[in-house]
Amino acid sequence: MPSKNMTLFYSPASPFARKVLVLLHETGQLPTVELFDVQLSPVSPSGEVIARNPAGKIPALELANGDTLHDSRVILDYLDHQHSGEPLIPRDGANRWKRLSLASLADAVLDAAILIRYETFLRPEDLHWPTWLNAQQDKIERVLAELETQADTGQLQCFDIASISIACALGYLDFRQPQLDWRNRFPRLASWYAEASQRGSMLDSQPPA
């Protein structure tokens, strides 16, 4: 059993941290990482996290030498260099930029969905701004339409950085916006996700019920 030489500061509800957990699982590295569960929000930050990432955000990955990596994309890139299997982030060539751009679209869904969550859950109700909320929701809708095309043209067959990010984004929408009913509008994406969400890495990293 490999020793745990890294610590992941995360929350089971964080979709960005989930991407890291999924990649760890897919690449057989879960046993090397200690999981440190933190509760935080922009208005109630965690001292443990701030000490390692002044932006106060998770995921943050503390390495054996005491250095900390933060931002899920940086952490995923690092971890993808720490295993000997097939890379989940293409190392070079046009495909690298294509897959990273697709992954960043999934992150855009997460950014918008998290902003909506903060606006509706943290901000006092009388300060909610419907126009802004709708604009974030429109972003999600536009990206899902593009992901539907990607699913239709077979671009999600390989469970790599792009597919991991998309699966975690859809999982977060189901978690925080169960009323969204995206499956009716994006059936090919739905059928892809029905399978992707049953992978061991996805089942093991589900957000809390």
Ligand X SMILES: N[C@@H](CCC(=O)N[C@@H](CS)C(=O)NCC(=O)O)C(=O)O
Query: Given the rule CB under 6 A, which residues bind ligand X?
Result: 14, 16, 40-42, 45, 56-59, 71-73, 114
CB of 74 to ligand X, least distance (A): 8
CB of 113 to ligand X, least distance (A): 10
CB of 154 to ligand X, least distance (A): 27
CA distance 203 to 207: 9
Nearer to ligand X, 103 or 156 (CB): 103
Nearer to ligand X, 60 or 189 (CB): 60
What sign for the dihedral angle of Cα 57, 61, 62, 63? negative
Q: Which parts of the chain fold into alpha helices (H)?
A: 15-26, 47-50, 72-80, 94-117, 130-152, 161-176, 182-185, 187-196, 200-203
CA distance 197 to 114: 20
Nearer to ligand X, 122 or 194 (CB): 122
Residue found by looking up tokens 């671009």 in the block: 155
CB of 187 to ligand X, least distance (A): 28
CB of 72 to ligand X, least distance (A): 3
Nearer to ligand X, 27 or 165 (CB): 165
CA distance 71 to 55: 10
Nearer to ligand X, 172 or 182 (CB): 172
